[in-house]
Structure 1
């Protein structure tokens, strides 16, 4: 029995196998969002984040409790965010914003002294990336009474992207590449979700936004796994 459990553990912990399963689930979930008559999201919507939790628990040499907490906030946020045109959508946005604030706090421990010019350059770029869509979507944000909640979300995502980009720029390691992929995913996903919510609902954009949102957490998970492994090796 013990041998069987070890074999199952090894099988599940293989990155390729888990990746295929995870990508398959988020693909089905994204299809369910645009083809609700054929695919019911009541199951697929809530599988990806628990699966991310399992991937982290199995593969990380040291469990990051803050990361698991962020997954809880994102999970509950999805529950409230499942119907994007309902009044309680504001709760979902706030919960997701808190989750990305936790991501930012996680990254703080990995900061090193950075070049001031590089910090200013990234600051200017990130402000532009955040300000332009906010201005474009501001009318829709006001119409849906979600202006301040969306600003809070934009702020949280922005400081996460800023800190992650700075870390990657300072040290282009394998772990930091996962972090870079995570920021690219959430940046594009946020743009697409904003367009769907505040401009015009488009099936293709919603499909891509759901996939990219889930990939954000997948890449963040593997960033932390790689960091935990490196820390053990250094010791």
Structure 2
């Protein structure tokens, strides 16, 4: 898996601070932008502590992600307040060889892993045979498994990104999207440390939101994210 921060709103914390100040000020935009350079961290901490998170929607972050499975990308695109561009299995042929993800739980069991890899090999061979028989790639792709890797560009605003982290950095999230979320968080924290302070699983700032489905390891989670990034 490789996650890269492609681009983001320049000086996102200044933009968010200016947007927040505008709500309570009669100053011009230029004046607000200048004021936003002063005592910005303290001001943002206060605004965010009051739940005024809508101002974070004015900044965005775009990531390039590759080497994740289709199983992972199907989870990712369920976050609807985001924009996605994904590699097409209709227009991109995998005749040479489709790459795949092997979960550690399978890799740890040699006999099962061998059968898993053999099945992927069989799928690849049959996929190639269909392409050789002039079956369109858009039809041959029906064979490709959730294990097949994909590439995707995803853009989220700051508010949705924090929500994404709250859900997907959680230990109850599926392992692959959990790892992707953590990598994304590590990339944005240096860019906007105040905006993403305490970003991560919901249990960082209160009781576990999973209720009876809790992992029961809130203390360990808080320790993990205490110096995250």
TM bracket (short chain): under 0.3
TM-score, normalised with respect to structure 2: 0.25
TM-score, normalised with respect to structure 1: 0.25
Instruction: Name whichever structure is richer in strand by fraction.
Output: 2
Structure whose alpha-carbon radius of gyration is higher? 2
Instruction: Name whichever structure is richer in helix by fraction.
Output: 1
